Amino acid sequence: MNESSMGGWLFVLIIIVVLLGAGGGGLFGGNNAALAGYATATDVTNAINSAFAQQNSQNILLSSANNNYETARLIDNQSMAMMNQNNSNLLAAINGFNATNQAIANGFNSVNQNIANLGYKMDECCCSIKTMMLENRLQDTQIALQNQQNIAVNQNQTEYLLSVMGSWAPKAAAAYAAK
């Protein structure tokens, strides 16, 4: 191996090192550290940070999903409770309406019965009044008749007495005059 071939191998090593180590940037402390696809400490740190960030994002998404599921579950439960409560309220209202309707019907029935009773009593009262009026009229007629009978009797008696007295009086006057 001569001197020129040794120099050739030096250039080979230089070419290999530069092309493998400097895939587009500086070498030996150059600013462009991402050389030839080999990971630097910065690359590793960034990768780890990225992995942590991804894990955190995943955890956040998972937590968010869990929270969303829990929220939806609570809303669903609340909705079911509200629906059940509304159904109960509706049933109570219907029952209340039914009870009110029944009470109103009972009230009307009682009123109708009272009206019927009132009509019956009015008929009864009217009948009683009519009867009483007839009885009063009969009594008045009887009294009037009795009065007429009394008058007639008195008149007859008066006439009889007067006739008796009349026939007696002239005789008495003649007897007195003859004395």
Partner 1 sequence: MNLMQIITQNSDLVFKAVGAMMRGESPVDFMKNLAKTHPKFQGYNFDDLEGTANSVCANNNVDIEKMKSEIADFAKSHIK
For partner 1, the binding residues (CB under 8 A) are 1, 5, 7-30, 33, 35-36, 38, 40
d(CA 94, CA 98): 6
Minimal distance, residue 51 CB to partner 1, in Å: 22
Q: Residue 8 or residue 119: which is nearer to partner 1 going by CB?
A: 8
Q: Residue 19 or residue 60: which is nearer to partner 1 going by CB?
A: 19
Q: Residue 41 or residue 175: which is nearer to partner 1 going by CB?
A: 41
Minimal distance, residue 42 CB to partner 1, in Å: 11
Minimal distance, residue 46 CB to partner 1, in Å: 15
Minimal distance, residue 45 CB to partner 1, in Å: 15
Q: Residue 9 or residue 69: which is nearer to partner 1 going by CB?
A: 9
Q: ∠ CA(42), CA(45), CA(46), 5° rounding?
A: 85
3-class secondary structure per residue, 79-137: HHHHHHHHHHHHHHHHHHHHHHHHHHHHHHHHHHHHHHHHHHHHHHHHHHHHHHHHHHH
d(CA 40, CA 24): 15
Question: How many of the other CB atoms lie within 10 Å of CB of 99?
Answer: 10
